[in-house]
Structure 1
Amino acid sequence: MGASYWDYYVPYQEDLGAALEELRHREFRAGDYFWVRGDDRLPEEERRPRPSTLDELWADEWTQHSGTHSILDVFHVQREDEEPEACAVQQVTAEEARRATGSERLTREHVPAVQDLARERWYGRCAVLHDNHGTPQEIYFWGWSGD
């Protein structure tokens, strides 16, 4: 199947980890993810209903291998000083924002300029987006995942 690109906008909150967790739960409840066991390319007898919890989803060996091709494939926001790791989200640094856009305060208009900062599979990025007055308005999450 190959990796899938995903992106989401959520209202701003100071705690990026809490924003990620809320987004993950929202998308899980909405069923807006690839469920490998429900794939209609599988014979009917091999298909399974969607899991009822995130823990149940990730306990499935097929999901662990194939992912969900969504925000569900990343589990936490890393600190700026941590090395990038699989299944995590890293916030765009001020230096990266400056290099990509000429500004440290990103807006929605800057999104196309920073999207290439998520190049690796199973790795996400996030950026706080501001209004024209410099007030944080949204958090943008994006990345690639799935096999």
Structure 2
Amino acid sequence: MGASAWDYYVPYRTDLNAALLDLQARVLAEGTYYWAGGGAAFGEAKQFPNRPMTIDDLWAEEIVQSEGTHSILDMNRVVGPGEKPDFGTVEPVTPEEARRCAGTEVLTREHVPLLDDLADRRWFGRCAILHDADGRPTELYFFGFSGD
């Protein structure tokens, strides 16, 4: 199938890992990820009434371990400052990256297309803090690509 790009906007929270967990719970409940339907055809999970309803049940399946979900569910945590990103992690956009890509550290939705190249590795995600016109943080933008 190949990797799939994904992106999500969520309300701003200072705790990026809590925001990630809330987003994952939403995606899991909505079934908006790819799943092999209990060994059947691979498709959007909401098509399958017997889809896993917990992250642990989802990742207990061998097919998910090898193919992923092509969604934010493939990420397991947000790395902290100075921590090296690893497989399945989300790395926040740094101020230096924001300046290089968008010319500012105060990113808005209008800057999002300029950030896409920062998600340059499969099975790694990124997140950016987005601001309103007054410079107040309002949203988090999670983006990346995963799946095989």
Superposition TM-score tier, normalisation by shorter sequence: over 0.9
Query: Match for residue 114 of structure 1?
Result: 115
C-alpha distance in 2, partners of 1:86/1:41? 23
C-alpha distance in 2, partners of 1:122/1:19? 19
Q: Which runs of 5+ in 2 are unaligned?
A: none
Q: CA deviation at 1:90?
A: 0.3
Percent of aligned pairs sharing the same letter: 55
Check whether the contact 1:80–1:93 (CA below 8 A) recurs between aligned residues: no
Change (3 A) 1:41 1:122: closer
What is the one-letter code of the residue matched to 1:57? Answer: L
Q: CA deviation at 1:48?
A: 9.2
Check whether the contact 2:35–2:42 (CA below 8 A) recurs between aligned residues: no
SS in 2 for 1:57: helix
- Structure 1 range deviating more: 31-40 or 50-59: 31-40
Q: CA deviation at 1:40?
A: 2.6
Q: CA deviation at 1:125?
A: 0.1
Check whether the contact 2:36–2:42 (CA below 8 A) recurs between aligned residues: no
Check whether the contact 2:68–2:74 (CA below 8 A) recurs between aligned residues: yes
| 1:42-99 deviation per Cα after TM superposition (whole angstroms, max 9, x unaligned) | 9xxxx99311211010011110000000000001000121112110000000000001
What is the one-letter code of the residue matched to 1:4? Answer: S
- 1:25-104 to 2 correspondence within 5 Å? 25-38=25-38, 39-40=40-41, 49-104=50-105
Moved over 3 A (4+): none
What is the one-letter code of the residue matched to 1:140? Answer: Y
What is the one-letter code of the residue matched to 1:16? Answer: L
C-alpha distance in 2, partners of 1:50/1:63? 12
Task: Give the structure-2-normalised TM-score.
Answer: 0.92
C-alpha distance in 2, partners of 1:93/1:63? 31
- Structure 1 range deviating more: 33-42 or 120-129: 33-42
What is the one-letter code of the residue matched to 1:81? Answer: G
C-alpha distance in 2, partners of 1:64/1:131? 38
Check whether the contact 1:86–1:123 (CA below 8 A) recurs between aligned residues: yes
Equivalenced residues, count:
143
C-alpha distance in 2, partners of 1:41/1:34? 7
Whichever of the two has the greater Rg, that structure is 1
C-alpha distance in 2, partners of 1:5/1:41? 17
